Amino acid sequence: MHKGFLIWATVFGILGVVLGAFGAHKLYDMATTDAMKTTLERAYKTGITYQFYHAFALIAVALLYVHFPGSLTQWAGRCFVTGVILFSGSLYLLTLKGFGKIDFPSIIGILTPIGGVFFIAGWVCLLLAVIKK
């Protein structure tokens, strides 16, 4: 078992619940127009959803590491962690920016697809680890 990936998974799970609750109870009320509510809520929920998917993926990687030890399995976990930070994190920051609460450079939006590439790379690494065995 890979303890580090289990730790990341539980942290992402905890944050997913906390941020999801914030989104459900406070975020919607902060929006000033219906268009803003729809757009920002969609971005925020997408960040939460992918964060949870990859928290579960990290649990799987941590458990699969026993049967598929090696660098490919480790890289799968690393890519999932990086993907959550870049993909979901950038969506959270863009949501805050959209509400005018925090001012971030618009360039932060490029982190979302880069995080998505890390998600894909993680799944490819996991596939290759399984095939290699």
Give the CA distances from residue 94 to residues 2, 42, 75, 105, in Å, rounded to whole numbers and listed in that order.
Answer: 32, 11, 27, 9
Q: Is a pLDDT exceeding 70 seen at residue 106?
A: yes
pTM equals 0.88
Q: For 23-70, how does the pLDDT look when each residue is reduced to its tens digit (9 = 90+)?
A: 777 777 777 777 677 777 788 889 999 999 999 999 999 999 999 999
**Whole-number average pLDDT of the chain:** 88
pLDDT computed for residue 127 by the predictor: 93
Q: For 113-122, how does the pLDDT look when each residue is reduced to its tens digit (9 = 90+)?
A: 999 999 999 9
CB 109 within 8 A of CB 94: yes
Tokens of 27: 């975020």
